[in-house]
Amino acid sequence: MAIEVFNRREIKYLLTDADKDALLSIIGNHMDADPFNKDGKTYSICNLYLDTDSDELIQKSLEKPDFKEKIRLRSYGTVALTDKVFLESKKKFDGVVNKRRTNFILKDAYKYFEDGTIPKNPVQTNGNPLKMNSQVMKEIDYIMHFYKLKPKVFISYDRWAFFEKNNSDFRLTIDTNIQTRRTDLRLDSPAYGTQLLKPGQWLMEAKAFKAFPMWFVLFLSERRLYQTSFSKYGTEYRNWKIGK
């Protein structure tokens, strides 16, 4: 079952091909792959980021305030209108990320974005009721109406994800093929768009509430890897503004 609410620190690093290969050569000694990473392959994540007409949320985020928030609709791979997706709020305060999300049927999410209708007793294609987190939905609905949010950007990427053995607090993700677009803002459309990273670059996120394990700290030191403030949506927005 997908985690609906959690808090953690998320530190980002940009890797080269050599950095990525060095990490993958040792990671099996310390971490287990996410079940989505079948046969050692990446899995796809697609997102619709919501914002105001004037891009207020991303502009505030780029100012690096103590508190910032975003709303997005997420799917794992390209999905059909009747498939389950996740409506998420992500807030960051003093370096700690609080993520909350609830289940949605994609077609119901589109309708919610259009007229604010929250589905009652949604049913999945297999006939099973879809369980929505009512408290999370209330919180997201308040933010949606307060800012008058709507889909603004599609961002997809392919991911490796790993969990520390016997320690679910520490997680690593490595993203590649990050694609963005500002048209065709649908999760039932194929993943395509403008590449966000340079060839040979990978975005790694280390995620934990407690301290990072020593083996990982040593890896960062040996490879001379330092924290970056790289943001997928933020980088897309900057590039889009330059190209306007």
C-beta neighbour count of 96 within 10 angstroms: 12
Helix (H) or strand (E) holding 70, with range, is: strand 67-75
pLDDT value of residue 169: 85
Residue 39's pLDDT is 86
- In eight-state DSSP terms, residue 132 is P
Highest CATH level, class, for 5-243: alpha beta
Give the Cβ contact number of residue 165 at 10 Å. Answer: 13
Residue 1: predicted pLDDT? 39
Any residues with CB less than 8 A from the CB of 62 and at least 6 apart, and which?
Answer: 231, 234, 237, 238
Domain locations in the chain as residue ranges: 5-243
214-223 and 17-27 helices, crossing angle to 10°: 150
Count the neighbouring beta carbons within 10 Å of the beta carbon of residue 140.
Answer: 22
Cα–Cα distance for residue pair 150/109, rounded to 1 Å: 11
The conformational region for residue 194 under phi > 0 = left, psi -120 to 50 = alpha, else beta, is beta
Cα 87 to Cα 74: distance, rounded to the nearest angstrom: 6
Tokens of 62: 């780029």
pLDDT at 5: 52
What does pTM read for this prediction? Answer: 0.92
CB distance 42 to 76 below 8 Å: no
- Are 85 and 151 in contact by the 8 Å Cβ rule? The answer is no
Instruction: Specify burial of residue 121 (Cβ count, 10 A radius: 0-12, 13-18, 19+).
Output: exposed
What are the mean pLDDT values of the chain's consecutive 10-residue runs (244 residues total)? Answer: 62 96 96 90 96 96 88 95 94 84 95 94 81 93 96 97 88 96 97 96 92 94 95 95 82
- What is the rounded CA–CA span in Å between residue 69 and residue 115? 22
